[in-house]
Structure 1
Amino acid sequence: MLKVDGVSKRFGGIKALDNVSVELEKDTIVGLMGPNGSGKTTLFNIISGILKPDKGTIVFNNTKIDGLAPNKIATLGISRTFQEIRLINDLTVLENTMISALQHFKMDYNKAAEHSLKALETVGLEKKSEWFVRDLNLYEKKLIEMARAIAAMPKLILVDEIMAGLTEEEQSRVARIMNELREYGITIFWIEHVIRAMFKLLKVDKIIVLNWGKKLAEGSPEEILHNKEVIEAYLGKSSMRGG
């Protein structure tokens, strides 16, 4: 479904990504982990068209997408959420969700509203569709981000640290939504630092770990959990030695 082949990206003297290759199959949930600054969000920005790679190619459903504009990539079926919530506080929940449908599919207002309300139903926010975003809590705002991604009618959603700042119960609810999306035929590529969510809450098919811009490891959750290089990247050599 998605093939990232040998992608590299520099910012001045800093190599954010170094020859990274990733493959995602349809109807899977793939986790993306790594310490801060390892290149995870840079990879998402390149896949979604916000950044262009210096080297490498990206193919989505047999279409080469590296270098395409973000709106073109969105119409091909890739949507995303952002680590920093990007909502308009003075618009309602429904209006914020409609932005995606209006931008990418040029629907008329009524059709976009109907389509976006279905997305809000998917995340359980339909009863607050007329609330202003400024009156919602963090959890509800993150659900709007997810609903907006769903409203773009994607085949693949890039989810960037949606669990951060949520309670364990809220994390469990978000996990149920993401598991359901996979059942609906939507593939999920998911950056996360909340270890409990990555290894216990979702049915993750595989996890990819980046470190210093390079792919450090790839495998099942069980394999990653016991990978010595991954443990060292997160905890350091001294922790592995017990002192």
Structure 2
Amino acid sequence: MARITHLPQSYKIKSGKSMSMLKGKFEDKQLYSWDAVPDCTDNLCPAFRYCEFSLTKQREHKEEEGLDSGNGTRAVGNKCYTQLTYVRDVLGLITGAIKDLDEVMLFKIGSHLVPLYSMWCRLKIAELGVDSVTYETSRGTMCIHPIYKEMRDTALKIEIMWEKIGLLSIRNANPDLGDLRDGIPEPNLHRGSSTFYKRMMNSKQKVSTDIVQEPKGT
């Protein structure tokens, strides 16, 4: 939660729990975030056996500590704590690391980018319930589970939205934003990406390639 300390108190109160996009003022501009989070489904959630924040786990922790085992996780009521903190961190990291965001950019971040990250988080949770990457059709054909296509498409849409909003060029001057986009190469289909191999190979060594053009008339 440290990443949202610079955001207004109204955001901390409403984030994840309000259908209203308006979440208060940020640097004298309106802060928008379409970040409503569903309730925790507890043992019906595909991530239940991994989650430390489910309603059941919270009640067990309270009982172990001799506290009231009433409903609700921490200070977020019955909301999915994993999704709530993830969406908060996304908005908090972007607005904290990128300076001079105008109100139009804030609106696009809150109404377009935040929902995509929310979708990504829900897909990752759903993936934990997938027993096998592949499945066999009635005709005996082996296929990849469709959730992985949805995840690839969502990752691509996130990348495209960064570009459309105009955050890619700003991000280059803000290396702290890297963890939001790890594993998604910067889209430059004509010239390539100067950081592609560096990030993919996790190396500090500079990699360059020479494009050899065939002479005309051959």
TM-score exceeds 0.5: no
Query: Which TM-score applies when normalising by structure 2?
Result: 0.31
Structure having the larger proportion of residues in strand: 1
Q: Using CA pairs below 8 Å that are at least 6 residues apart, which structure has the higher relative contact order? A: 1
Query: Which TM-score applies when normalising by structure 1?
Result: 0.29
- Rg larger in structure: 2
